[in-house]
A and B are shown apart, each in its own frame.
Chain A
């Protein structure tokens, strides 16, 4: 089947649709920033966006920023503060409505690994990873404190594992009430949005199950691309395709074409 948009674009639009107008929101660099600013430009003009460096009121110009401190963001901010303020006072405190984070690996309880890839389990001795990744960054703080957060990740079996080898950012840990029991304030991941569909947590077990698939994917493809025995929601549905307006808006945000390269 052919479409006039990429899987990455569908993922960004589906993620953006999760953001509601007026929310206090925090975005990281890259994909999550595109999805967040897409929401702001498309249907949530009063989203109160910030970055973890404490850059407020800014909208990127001249292409997607290469970082939080990028001149493309620093150029029209109304306030610069600091990490204690943004990630602490506004996120870890429990005030932030929604955050968006990425993942190298995610498991069935929405735990995220961005620290490293080991060959097999790490074991009792913390040996160096075969491949060192970028670490937790602000994602751990967002995952710990935000009222809810969204995980964006490319849907491949090697990334969707039964149990991540290292939890960089907590999802529902072992499921059930584990998050609350350990003392985490935030509500946990409300959705995993992938290049194939959308997964949401079961209300009691907190195990992620397939909630929806995209027009170019299928339940079968998603099951085959997931490394655990993914359950399918009884009312699994098709995600509406991007409207012409959504695509046009997204492409204005993604003027460098980051999402069209795949």
Chain B
């Protein structure tokens, strides 16, 4: 019997987070595979002054920023793709409540790779020459900034090159499609930067849409890009990324995406959202009730459902996964 690393979501946040920590999350671009359920729990437990590392902004960072829980953030992209600007993040930046340090969608994973390999810096041919190098929200008075992405000399060619600083977040909460109880995980869809993130972070928590028997991992070991040996704990949370998508499992909830972003555009709307969609459930089942069982069924029946077919025979029934989580938490 493998180790059982399944714990409840509240327990994971109690054990592994603290005010002022460097917290990394977000997964596959702004509207997919984001461990936002973890962010909701951070707010339920009133975590403050977080330093967010989000490859891209997601609805999670949008929400945390709107609620005032994040005071510093580093991102490659800060919109919501087809859903427009991220109103909560935008408001926090414009009001000066959140210092947003801009990078690009390649420089963030390069920095995570640097952290993962424990390199002193990562050479870069991107971000140089642009204001991503010269402007720093963390050092606003230094212009042109020479510390954020300094130029160094390539010892082989003698050419100038940018030096990116490595990232080593205190914690990464990572969304995965399937995990076993030991923390071996399979991601459907693009990995985005979850591989590097899982190696760069000091601690890793997985949020899995479904728990599978370990035989699944033994059948597809090549697809297990996050092995249990680097994982502290696993949280079973169906619809972890909702209202965002998880390929193979559920489609984006377009109505909620829009309504949520609209709400986060104002102080009042944010308070309503927190009351209705953050404070209003007590466990996984009441969370799914909140989404609506009909909506859950509809979103689960999307065009990419077939991607999950090869794995279905190993899925643990919902009640068993919940019971395992309770057992390890107790």
Q: Which A residues lie at the B interface, using CB under 8 A?
A: 29-30, 51-55, 61-62, 64-72, 74-75, 80-84, 87-88, 91-92, 111, 115, 122, 124-141, 144-145, 166-170, 173, 178-179, 182-185
Structural contact, B254 and A66, CB atoms closer than 8 A: yes
Taking A66-B31, A71-B302 as given, write out 6 further A-B residue pairs in contact, using a Cβ cutoff of 8 Å, ordered by the A residue number: A66-B82, A68-B28, A70-B82, A127-B140, A134-B78, A179-B129
Structural contact, B105 and A183, CB atoms closer than 8 A: no
Structural contact, B189 and A132, CB atoms closer than 8 A: no
| Interface size in chain B (residues, C-beta < 8 A) | 74
A81, A91, A138, A178: most-surrounded residue (chain B CB, <10 A)? A138
Residues on B with C-beta less than 8 A from A62 are: 303
* Contact A84 B130, CB 8 Å, known A66-B82, A126-B135, A135-B75: no
A67, A69, A71, A111: most-surrounded residue (chain B CB, <10 A)? A69
* Contact A80 B126, CB 8 Å, known A129-B94, A135-B79: no
Alpha-carbon gap, A136 to B192, bound state (A): 16
A29, A130, A144: most-surrounded residue (chain B CB, <10 A)? A144
Alpha-carbon gap, A14 to B196, bound state (A): 39
* Contact A29 B190, CB 8 Å, known A136-B104, A138-B105: no
Residues on B with C-beta less than 8 A from A184 are: 125, 128-129
15 chain-A/chain-B pairs, Cβ below 8 angstroms: A66-B252, A68-B28, A69-B189, A70-B82, A74-B307, A82-B109, A82-B193, A88-B110, A124-B143, A125-B143, A132-B100, A134-B78, A136-B102, A144-B126, A182-B160
Alpha-carbon gap, A179 to B129, bound state (A): 8
Structural contact, B106 and A69, CB atoms closer than 8 A: no
Alpha-carbon gap, A130 to B95, bound state (A): 9
* Contact A30 B82, CB 8 Å, known A88-B106, A115-B131: yes
Closest 4 CB pairs of A and B: A69-B32, A66-B82, A134-B79, A137-B77
Structural contact, A80 and B33, CB atoms closer than 8 A: no
Q: DSSP majority for the A interface?
A: loop
- Interface membership of B294, Cβ < 8 A: no
Structural contact, B143 and A52, CB atoms closer than 8 A: no
Q: Which B residues lie at the A interface, using CB under 8 A?
A: 28-33, 55-57, 75-79, 81-83, 85-86, 89-90, 93-96, 100, 102-107, 109-110, 113, 124-132, 135-137, 140-141, 143, 151, 159-162, 188-196, 245, 247-248, 251-252, 254, 302-304, 307
Partner of A126, one of B110, B127, B136: B136
Structural contact, B93 and A132, CB atoms closer than 8 A: yes
Taking CB as reference atom, which chain A residue is nearest B83?
Answer: A66
B78, B90, B94, B136: most-surrounded residue (chain A CB, <10 A)? B78
Q: Report the minimal beta-carbon distance from A241 to chain B, rounded to whole angstroms.
A: 29
Residues on A with C-beta less than 8 A from B188 are: 74, 80
Residues on A with C-beta less than 8 A from B127 are: 140, 144
Structural contact, B193 and A66, CB atoms closer than 8 A: no
Taking CB as reference atom, which chain B residue is nearest A79?
Answer: B190
Structural contact, B76 and A137, CB atoms closer than 8 A: yes
